[in-house]
A = this chain, B = another copy of it.
Amino acid sequence: MSIEDVASAASVSTATVSRVINNPDLVAKATAKRVQQVIVELDYRPNMLAKGLSTRKTGVLGIALPDIFGEFYSELLRGADSQARALGYHLLVSSEARIRNGDHAESALAFGLIDGLAVMITEPDGRLLPEAERSGTPLVLLDADPEGQKFDSVVVGNESGAREAVRHLLESVEPSQCCFVGGPRENFDTRHRAEAFRSALAERGHRASDEQLSFGTYTTEWGHKWASERIAAKSKRCCGVLAGNDEIAYGIMQACQDGGVSIPGALKLIGFDDSRLASLVRPRLSSVRVPAAEIGEAALRLLVARIKNPSNPRSHLTVQTKLVIRESSVGKGS
């Protein structure tokens, strides 16, 4: 089952067999045909390991995410998978844990096994980056701050969509009555979204008060809690909400239903992510679409571009978010 068997069966040298497979032009047509035949007959498959060892290319790309759970990552992974196939690569998946503890031998780089790695870093203090740089492994960073980075990257353009969303809210709501209900304050995306919220209000000459921005977690519960409290404390008016993600939005929606606040009648609500949930819920949830699959695709494209041409200048890609208007945010003003 090795190339040598094929060679002797076709009474040629291994070199010739190899050429028939990888570079058919270099061998006489007659020989090529004969060898081909033997290959089929014996059902021979080149051993990828040996091939990889020799060529220093394995045709495997790695992707490392904090988790592969939840719609966002799942979508991202799907994009990566389809793109990998399209580009003729295999995909090695890993959740970050293995990187973080990065315990030397177990590293996600799976040394020698992969031609390149797309990775979403959560702990900037890891040893992965320096290591990759040293070993020259092609790397692309997902959703990480590209400032001053020495690697290719693709990030989510939260600004555009968030801004769009706020502008849309402002069509029917006063700037002072808009709120942003985000996830964890220290989260990369949360910060960007909050910032976009602020600056969209600033465009209208309104300086957002601290009360207009709240931070919690990316869960239904947090949305529910926030909304319930607001409803209880009637003093603080709020007629337009941009939620940090759809889960939060959904929590708010439920609290409003329980509390007799009609959506979109009394409260305009916009989510973030445009998850499956958004179009299933009633009223259908307007939401800022984050094209997760595209991120995965773009990352892999960047990655193979770098592999094919290591001296390219760095690329930093931004996939744009976009408001999808449904029912929860439209209708007459407050």
Contacts and interface: CB of A to CB of B under 8 A. Distances in A.
A59 B78 CA distance: 23
Given A48-B112, A49-B58, A78 B85 contact: no
B107 A81 contact: no
Interface stretch (A90-98, A160-168, A209-217): A90-98
A177 interface: no
Given A49-B112, A53-B50, A111-B48, A94 B92 contact: no
Interface string A62-91: 000001111101110110011001001011
A90 B91 contact: no
A132 interface: no
Interface string A42-58: 01011111101100001
A222 interface: no
Q: Within the oligomer, what is the number of copies of this chain? A: 2
A190 B85 CA distance: 30
Contact of A49 (B53, B88, B98): B53
B280 A111 contact: no
A297 to B, nearest CB: 14
B111 A85 contact: no
Interface of A: 1, 43, 45-50, 52-53, 58-60, 67-71, 73-75, 77-78, 81-82, 85, 88, 90-95, 97-98, 104-107, 110-113, 134-135, 220, 250, 254, 257, 277, 280, 282
